[in-house]
Amino acid sequence: MKIIDIKNNIEKILDKNKASNITSINLKNKSYIADYMIIASGTSSRHLQALSEILVTELKKIGLEECRIEGRESSDWKLVDTNDIIVHIFHPEKRKFMILKKCGLNPYQKKRLLYENSICFSFYF
């Protein structure tokens, strides 16, 4: 299966299971960690856990056996690593915090990102 097909499947699975603010970032030729990063929000710690577990189960059904979940103990963030695609699932408040804490942007840029309800993962590059 092509990476773009896997990415599309992940987005569909997240959307079907009520994840919000699903954003895909193309990392090809920008980072060695993955080809895509997908960021989504859940509504509660249970929702985050359910989304990550459902995602791994569904991906295994299509042949991606090496998927794993990180952040199982965290109540506000989960990471699903499929090797070629990294999926971050945040509680909405944690997602906003990550913008402010990790991006290293000036105040205007941070305000703009918050306004656009986006997230910056420049610290990966």
Kindly state whether residue 107 falls inside one of the protein's structural domains.
Answer: no
Which range, 22-36, 40-54, 108-122, has the best average confidence (pLDDT)?
Answer: 40-54
Kindly state whether residue 17 falls inside one of the protein's structural domains.
Answer: yes
Q: Where in the sequence is the domain holding 14, given as residue range(s)?
A: 3-91
Give the whole-number percent of the chain exceeding pLDDT 90: 52
* Distance in angstroms (rounded) separating the CA atoms of residues 71 and 124: 18
Residues contacting residue 16 through CB under 8 Å, at least 6 positions apart: none
- CATH number of the domain residue 52 falls in: 3.30.460.10
- Could you tell me the two tokens for 30? 């920008």
Kindly state whether residue 114 falls inside one of the protein's structural domains.
Answer: no
118 has pLDDT over 50 = no
- Using N-to-C axis directions, what is the helix angle for 92-102 and 107-115, rounded to 10°? 160
Higher pLDDT, 119 or 51: 51
Kindly state whether residue 125 falls inside one of the protein's structural domains.
Answer: no
Kindly state whether residue 55 falls inside one of the protein's structural domains.
Answer: yes
Kindly state whether residue 45 falls inside one of the protein's structural domains.
Answer: yes
Question: Which alpha helices (H) appear in the chain, and where do they start and end?
Answer: 3-16, 45-61, 92-102, 107-115
18 has pLDDT over 90 = yes
Average pLDDT over residues 38-46: 92
Q: Which helix (H) or strand (E) holds 80?
A: strand 77-81
pLDDT of residue 124: 37
- Could you tell me the two tokens for 62? 């299509």
Kindly state whether residue 98 falls inside one of the protein's structural domains.
Answer: no
Kindly state whether residue 112 falls inside one of the protein's structural domains.
Answer: no
pLDDT band at 56 (very low <50, low <70, confident <90, very high): very high
Domains in the chain, number: 1
pLDDT of residue 29: 81
Condensed to tens digits (0 to 9), the pLDDT of residues 68-109 reads 999 888 888 899 999 999 999 998 776 655 654 444 555 555
